[in-house]
Amino acid sequence: MTQAAATAQSSFVILQVGERRLALPAAIVAELSPPVRMHSFPHDTPSILGVIVRRGHVVPVYDAASAIGIPAPSVQRFFLITRRRFGKSREFGAIPVNGDCELTVGEMRPPAADRPSCVAGMLPFGDELLDVFDLDALMTSSSPDIAEASEVRG
């Protein structure tokens, strides 16, 4: 592979959420955590399922499944712990994962017009074209799609 081709590609983590496989940029993934008890509490943020405690931090658990219009998995095998920056501070977030995760390298394409705002692009992976999540958009979303899905779940 030439240097130009290598720089055009990025690393992604492929994860199983419900019945679908999704991708996240590998740069934001901190770790894959074993299943721990998720704590639920009354709140009005539709994109948050609850919180877990990981390494002494309270970590919000985000509802990636409802954001793309699929049923949330009933069982979590792992939590994919992600990180993002707010100026000089950093925040962790978690996504429930119910299948295996794997690392791949590829070139992200623009998202299809019908994809939710939390989809940053599409990643060719084998015979599939996977949604690449924009975790910032998911974490800050007040999307009606997510709100409606959480009402159905609730």
pTM: predicted TM-score of the whole model, two decimal places: 0.77
Does residue 131 lie in a domain region? yes
Does residue 153 fall inside a structural domain? no
> Per-residue DSSP letters for 1-44?
--HHHHHH-EEEEEEEETTEEEEEEGGGEEEEEPP-PPB-----
Report d(CA 87, CA 119) in Å as an integer.
23
- Residue 2 within a domain: no
Task: Indicate whether 67 belongs to any domain.
Answer: yes
Is residue 30 situated within a structural domain?
A: yes
Residue 150: pLDDT band by 50, 70, 90 thresholds?
Answer: very low
31 is a domain residue: yes
Which CATH number do you get for residue 83?
2.40.50.180
pLDDT, one tens digit per residue, over 100-123 is 899 999 999 999 999 888 899 999
- Asked, for residue 151, whether it belongs to a domain, the answer is no
- Beta strands (DSSP E) in 67-148 are 78-86, 89-97, 102-106, 119-125, 128-133
The domain in which residue 71 lies consists of: 8-143
Number of structural domains in the chain: 1
Per-residue pLDDT, 123: 97
Tens of pLDDT, residues 40-69: 888 777 778 899 999 888 999 888 888 777
